[in-house]
Amino acid sequence: MSSTSYTQDELKALVGQAALQYVVPGEIVGVGTGSTVNKFIDALATMRDQIPGAVSSSEASTVRLKALGIPVLDANEVSSLSVYIDGADEIDGQGHMVKGGGAALTREKIVAALSKRFVCIADESKKVAVLGKFPLPVEVIPMAAQQIIRQFAALGGQGSIRQKDGQPLVTDNGQYIVDVLGLQITDPLAFESQVNQWPGVVTVGVFAHQKAAVCLLGTPRGVETLT
Ligand code: 5RP
């Protein structure tokens, strides 16, 4: 197959557009967060008359959806979604992901859990053999942050509280993010279960229990579909 030199932005637009084929006309769609999802939201505007609306995973995506005339429903108003479309910071060959680079991981995991199928949209740079090179985001209750950093240190990870404008970043849920470097997550399911047990962890950014069923990967050869 021939290859084209796409910019990273163009690859994001390609996969955002390709994700439209997974949106079920007449059904509410789950929408993630990030620069790749922003391309999907822009493309989704062309289908706005065919869907009742979206459940959003962040304030930022909600603003963008509404600006494009797509109604946003509260997650409590739906019992199930056919599909959730979201990006990732890393994805392995089994569909396990690291997410949370945009600090939206808790709501992302909630909407993913409501959804029958997670469709991940990403450019090729996100594909990895083993999760852990990207600093793992973990949303934490602020008073537990230092204890959680010590627990990661015992696993060989170096954690730090994410900053914004010289202050700890505060998530849409009023919590902090700890980013952890230096992990090699060889068993994502077990790792996610383990960290979920630690007091003060709101959400760990390993998505193994809510892994992607499909990944639309933007490559120089075009969009590749990994299942
Ligand atoms: C936000 C996320 C994003 O999906 C992830 O950070 C990828 O973002 P982008 O498409 O901008 O690279 O998990 O919390």
Mutate which of 14, 33, 133 for ligand 1? The one with the most ligand atoms within 8 Å of its CB, which is 33
Average pLDDT, the chain: 96
Enumerate the active-site residues.
108
Ligand 1, atom 4, lies closest to the CA of 87
Ligand 1 pocket check for 11: Cβ under 6 Å: no
Ligand 1 pocket check for 35: Cβ under 6 Å: yes
Judged against a pLDDT cut of 70, whether residue 2 lies above it is answered with no
Ligand 1 pocket check for 85: Cβ under 6 Å: no
Q: What is the pLDDT of residues 164-212, one digit of tens each?
A: 999 999 999 999 999 999 999 999 999 999 999 999 999 999 999 999 9
Q: What is the pLDDT of residues 89-98, one digit of tens each?
A: 999 999 999 9
pLDDT at residue number 164: 96
pLDDT at residue number 4: 74
Ligand 1 pocket check for 105: Cβ under 6 Å: yes
Q: What is the pLDDT of residues 17-67, one digit of tens each?
A: 999 999 999 999 999 999 999 999 999 999 999 999 999 999 999 999 999
40 CA distance to ligand 1 centroid (A)? Answer: 12
Q: What is the pLDDT of residues 102-139, one digit of tens each?
A: 999 999 999 999 999 999 999 999 999 999 999 999 99
Ligand 1 pocket check for 205: Cβ under 6 Å: no
Per-residue confidence band for 151, with pLDDT thresholds at 50, 70 and 90: very high
24 CA distance to ligand 1 centroid (A)? Answer: 23
Global model pTM greater than 0.80: yes
Q: At which residue do the structure tokens 């630690």 appear?
A: 198
101 is in an annotated binding site: yes
Q: What is the pLDDT of residues 199-219, one digit of tens each?
A: 999 999 999 999 999 999 999
80 CA distance to ligand 1 centroid (A)? Answer: 23
pLDDT at residue number 3: 66
pLDDT at residue number 5: 86
1 CA distance to ligand 1 centroid (A)? Answer: 29
